[in-house]
Amino acid sequence: MRNAYPVIPSSNHGFARPENDYLAAKYKDMRLSDKTAIITGGAKGIGKATAIRFVEEGAKIAIWDIDEKAGEEVVKELKAMDAKAHFYKVNTADITNVVSAAEQVYTDFGSIDILVNNAGITRDASLKKMSPQQWQQVIDVNLTGVFHCTKAVYPFMTANGFGRILNAASVVAHHGNFGQTNYVAAKAGVIGMTKVWAREFGRKGITVNAVAPGFIKTEMVETVPAKVMEQLMERTPVGRIGRVEDIANAYLFLASAEAAFITGTVLNVDGGLVL
């Protein structure tokens, strides 16, 4: 098994050419150096923030999203940071699309080390008003999409003897939320799959964890009335709504060597909302 976190050798020891000294110095202390990460839903919000944070720590990034324009813009930003990055138009609810994209990422990058199952949608309505279509749309992306992506990358990770799978859950999976039968069911299912896969994948060198955000300032929560947001902040011990960077930092930790002995856990990043 190759070293999961290889140290780039210095030319002082005869392993690197002098012209590589700059890159060696740049990446030697980075937590995700030489790692390839797929980030679903990476064109905006938490996904974009995670891509930027991972690049700051030396990762190569594959952005998967259905928003081609926004995805390409993110890739431009990442390349401006001297990162290797590609955009792939991927509908995570389509297994054929997902498998094909995973194969292409492996061809383009040579490895798949990290998967961030971040893609998600909402179609909120009370049970009385929720249509079967609204139910299925959320389940297809938020639950089945996580299954598709994990199943597609698993063979590449096992062949490499290393992997980090990070799943987007939610604090509402713990306590429910009015008008979100579909969303809560999907996120509770993600937590369950996280624990199952942690048991199944551990001896393959793969850890599987979930991050459960509280209320984070993204497009998904912009429709929440201001009064409701004020009430939420009052209920949150740290006294503020979360930022996308808060979640990105949690993903970074769980993807890093520091979290090598952590698997099957759900990390609440909610400012204490569910205490």
Q: What is the pLDDT of residues 84-137, one digit of tens each?
A: 999 999 999 999 999 999 999 999 999 999 999 999 999 999 999 999 999 999
What's the confidence (pLDDT) of residue 219? Answer: 81
DSSP class of 143? I
Q: How far apart are CA 241 and CA 244, in angstroms?
A: 10
Q: How far apart are CA 262 and CA 26, in angstroms?
A: 28
What's the confidence (pLDDT) of residue 221? Answer: 73
pLDDT in tens, 228-258: 788 888 889 999 999 999 999 999 999 999 9
User: Has residue 8 got a pLDDT over 50?
Assistant: no
What's the confidence (pLDDT) of residue 7? Answer: 34
> For the chain, first and last CA: distance in Å?
41
Would you call 183 a catalytic residue per the annotation?
A: yes
For the entire predicted model, the pTM comes to 0.88
Q: Which domains does the chain have, with CATH numbers?
A: 38-269 (3.40.50.720)
CB burial readout 193-221, b (16+ within 10 A) else e: bbbebbeebeeebbbbbbbbbbbbebebb
User: Has residue 173 got a pLDDT over 80?
Assistant: yes
Element (H, E) at 52: helix 45-56
φ, ψ at 207 (rounded to 5°): -100, 150
Active-site residue (options: 88, 106, 154, 183): 183
Structure tokens at 221: 């929560």
Q: How far apart are CA 131 and CA 123, in angstroms?
A: 10
10 confidence band (pLDDT: 50, 70, 90): very low
Q: Measured between alpha carbons, how far is residue 34 from residues 10, 131, 240 in Å?
A: 15, 45, 35
Q: How far apart are CA 231 and CA 62, in angstroms?
A: 38
Mean pLDDT of all residues in 19-36: 69
For the chain, the average pLDDT equals 90
